């Protein structure tokens, strides 16, 4: 069985992939780049974490142009929800091309604005593939403890680059229809 892991340069997604790999699942990592809005630091961190955990070389897809459109033409408070839906759609396509049975994320309930129940629902509805969220009920202390144990903690230290175009006050709730209407403003 194979799963496609949406992996960033942060702590959570490598831990999530590790937990699923322990269940005998082959992990295919996918990383979304924001260059030129960021440097290649997140990609380097991602590749390093993947190597430490024995994953394949990550698939890297640049989504900077799409994220710029979302930031420019959509309600800014929905930026993180809309970009997550974009990533899920791309990951679903790549997963099917790679023979993966599901997606895996490092999402954690209410850790950040896009990870509230209503926002996770809207993100999930973007795709027709199963999404596993093994860290959903973990607290950050537990995640960091596992990251230290598996050797990804040091490489994951540093700022997250995914919020470079994001709003100062992101939406913590949303309505799926409104999100879908926002997506109609742009062609992705």
The answer to whether residue 45 sits within a structural domain is yes
Indicate the pLDDT class of residue 115, thresholds 50, 70 and 90.
confident
Find the domain containing 118 and state its range: 2-183
The answer to whether residue 138 sits within a structural domain is yes
pLDDT one-digit tens code per residue, 14-30: 999 999 999 999 999 99
The answer to whether residue 27 sits within a structural domain is yes
The answer to whether residue 188 sits within a structural domain is no
Alpha helices in the chain (DSSP H): 12-21, 41-52, 64-73, 79-97, 117-124, 140-150, 153-156, 176-183
User: How far apart, in Å, are the Cα atoms of 182 and each of 51, 116, 131, 143?
Assistant: 38, 19, 23, 33
Average predicted confidence (pLDDT) for the chain? 93
Q: CA-CA distance, 89 to 125, in Å (whole number)?
A: 10
Q: Tell me the torsion sign for CA atoms 8, 12, 14, 16.
A: negative
The answer to whether residue 58 sits within a structural domain is yes
In this prediction the pTM is 0.94
- Domain with 171 in it: what CATH number? 3.40.50.620
Number of domains in the chain: 1
Whether the link from the prior residue into 36 is cis, omega within 30° of 0, is yes
Percent of the chain predicted with pLDDT > 90 = 82
């Amino acid at each position: 069985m194979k799963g496609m892991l949406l992996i960033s340069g942060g702590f959570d997604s490598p831990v999530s992939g590790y937990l699923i790999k322990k269940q005998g699942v082959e992990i295919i990592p996918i990383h979304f780049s924001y260059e030129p809005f960021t440097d290649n630091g997140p990609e380097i961190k991602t590749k390093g974490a993947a190597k430490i955990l024995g994953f394949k070389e990550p698939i890297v897809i640049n989504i900077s142009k799409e994220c710029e459109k979302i930031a420019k033409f959509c309600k800014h408070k929905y930026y993180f929800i809309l970009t997550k839906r974009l990533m899920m759609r791309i990951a679903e396509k790549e997963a099917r091309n790679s023979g993966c049975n599901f997606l895996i994320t490092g999402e954690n309930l209410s850790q950040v604005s896009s990870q509230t129940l209503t926002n996770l629902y809207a993100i999930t509805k973007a795709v027709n593939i199963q999404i596993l969220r093994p860290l959903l009920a973990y607290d950050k202390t537990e995640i960091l403890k596992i990251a230290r144990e598996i050797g990804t903690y040091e490489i994951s230290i540093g700022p997250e680059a995914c919020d470079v175009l994001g709003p100062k006050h992101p939406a913590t709730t949303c309505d799926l229809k409104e999100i879908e209407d926002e997506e109609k403003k742009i062609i992705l």
